[in-house]
């Protein structure tokens, strides 16, 4: 008897599903079908009804939700944005303009890193023509062994070539996570070329070599009046002109450094202590009294890569020697995606002591105009 009832129930359900729905129920949800099955008293008929309803009400595939886009940091934002996956760097790395100039330059964050042992820009690589109010035709020093025997007919107009590169030797030594400390090696070479002095066969009047080791540590301190301290560090630098007596000049220094920014303004400072030498071996006594014992550099980064900057050096003594350097850079050439061209037209005005190592104790005013490569 139950089999007959089940068959009858299945037939009724089939007729019910085959029949058109009333107009009021045509917009109803599929749940109306299982409610009809629930009304059946016989268990076998009710099960058969559910099976048939499930076959008609099978849901279609559900699309997976699209992932939310990662937040894009604003320029100068200090929020730590971790790169996807286990990569150590973000796609933009040390050229990502979403981060501050100082964070990118010293790669203070994981997202601004470009790895170790790669070649980076340091100071500008430049070629320029300079004109000065004087030229050191017979260099002298407070050490009698370092006085030139006779003057040479150098011109006050000459060409200057500067090469400068650096590489990161290590990172993450004392920090973990989103911020990175780092150790760098840098090398800068600056040459004064008497290109317009044909009578002397156009010699290089002087070439300064400056290798250095730098340690940079990132700070995460709250902003003060809009200024944020980005890093501190220390360095060891040697500078010499590679010449023999009496034109030899050299000295070694250790320094402390720090840098802060506020929007498009950056301010960096260094204070150093010379490593003393024996008097007989000192090519340039009292060089710190002339060149200085500290410097401050301020930069204003305008739109489209234009930059104005100044550098002040001071002896930190009552007899205030030192120097002032003013510089303007303007990008030229094509941009690369969101980055400005690495080529710059630069104009620079220098006044004071230490324009070159050979001129450490000679005051000069120098105007230069040329081309520079920066941030490449």
Domain boundaries, the chain: 2-19+30-56, 93-373
Helix axes 2-18, 43-56, angle to 10 degrees: 30
End-to-end alpha carbon distance in the chain? 91
Residue 22 in this model has a pLDDT that exceeds 80 = no
Per-residue pLDDT averaged across 294-315, rounded? Answer: 94
Contact 155, 135 (CB under 8 A): yes
Residue 1 in this model has a pLDDT that exceeds 60 = no
Q: CA-to-CA distance for 84 and 113, rounded, in angstroms? A: 14
| Position with higher pLDDT, 362 vs 25 | 362
Residue 60 in this model has a pLDDT that exceeds 70 = no
Q: CA-to-CA distance for 331 and 73, rounded, in angstroms? A: 25
pTM score, two decimals? 0.74
Q: Nearest to residue 17, comparing CAs of 38, 32, 39?
A: 32
Q: Are strands 250-262 and 364-373 parallel, antiparallel or unpaired?
A: unpaired
Q: CA-to-CA distance for 84 and 70, rounded, in angstroms? A: 9
Q: CA-to-CA distance for 166 and 123, rounded, in angstroms? A: 9
Give every CB contact of residue 167 below 8 A, 6+ residues apart in sequence.
Answer: 116, 117, 118, 119, 120, 184, 185
Which pLDDT tens digit goes with each residue over 242-284?
A: 999 999 999 999 999 999 999 999 999 999 999 999 998 999 9
Residue 341's pLDDT is what?
79
Strands (E), 42-180: 119-121, 125-132, 157-171
Which pLDDT tens digit goes with each residue over 162-203?
A: 999 999 999 999 998 889 999 999 999 999 999 999 999 999
Burial 275-314 (b: 16+ CB within 10 A, else e): eeeeeeebbbeebbbbbbbbbebebebeeebebebebbbb
* Phi, psi at 289, each rounded to 5°: -70, -25
Per-residue pLDDT averaged across 348-356, rounded? Answer: 97
Residue 5's pLDDT is what?
46
Confidence of residue 339 (pLDDT cuts 50, 70, 90): low
Contact 158, 196 (CB under 8 A): yes
**What CATH number should be reported for the domain whose range is 93-373?**
2.40.230.10
H or E element at residue 323 = strand 322-331
Least confident of 109-123, 248-262, 277-291, 324-338: 324-338
User: Is the Cα torsion angle 249, 151, 313, 279 positive or negative in sign?
Assistant: positive
Residue 319's pLDDT is what?
84
Coil, strand, or helix at residue 265? strand
């Amino acid at each position: 008897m139950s089999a007959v009832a089940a068959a009858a129930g299945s037939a009724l359900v089939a007729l019910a599903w085959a029949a058109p729905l009333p107009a009021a129920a045509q917009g109803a949800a599929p749940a109306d079908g299982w409610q009809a099955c629930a009304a059946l008293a016989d268990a076998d008929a009710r099960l058969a009804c559910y099976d048939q309803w499930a076959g008609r009400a099978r849901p279609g595939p559900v699309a997976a939700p699209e992932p939310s886009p990662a937040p894009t940091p604003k320029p100068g934002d200090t929020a730590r944005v971790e790169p996807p996956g286990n990569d150590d760097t973000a796609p933009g790395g040390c050229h990502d303009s979403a981060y501050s100039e100082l964070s990118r330059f010293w790669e203070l964050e994981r997202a601004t890193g470009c790895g170790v042992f790669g070649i980076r820009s340091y100071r500008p690589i430049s070629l320029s023509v300079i004109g000065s109010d004087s030229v050191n035709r017979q260099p002298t020093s407070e050490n009698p062994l370092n006085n030139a025997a006779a003057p040479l007919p150098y011109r006050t107009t000459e060409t200057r070539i500067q090469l400068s590169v650096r590489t990161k030797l290590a990172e993450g030594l004392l920090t973990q996570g989103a911020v990175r400390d780092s150790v760098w090696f840098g090398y800068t070479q600056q040459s004064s070329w008497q290109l317009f002095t044909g009578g002397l066969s156009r010699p290089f009047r002087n070439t300064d070599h400056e290798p250095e080791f730098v340690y940079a540590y990132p700070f995460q301190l709250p902003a003060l009046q809009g200024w944020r301290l980005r890093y501190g560090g220390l360095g060891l630098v040697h500078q010499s002109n590679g010449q023999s007596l009496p034109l030899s000049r050299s000295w070694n220094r250790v320094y402390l450094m720090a840098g802060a920014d506020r929007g498009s303004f950056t301010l960096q400072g260094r204070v150093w202590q010379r490593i003393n030498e024996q008097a007989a071996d000192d090519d340039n006594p009292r060089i710190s009294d002339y060149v200085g014992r500290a410097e401050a550099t301020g930069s204003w980064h305008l739109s489209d890569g234009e930059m104005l900057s100044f550098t002040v050096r001071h002896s930190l003594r009552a007899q205030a020697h030192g120097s002032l350097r003013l510089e303007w850079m303007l990008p030229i050439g094509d941009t690369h995606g969101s980055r400005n061209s690495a080529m710059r037209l630069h104009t620079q005005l220098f006044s004071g002591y230490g324009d070159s190592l050979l001129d450490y104790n000679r005051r000069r005013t120098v105007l230069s105009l040329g081309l520079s490569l920066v941030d490449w």
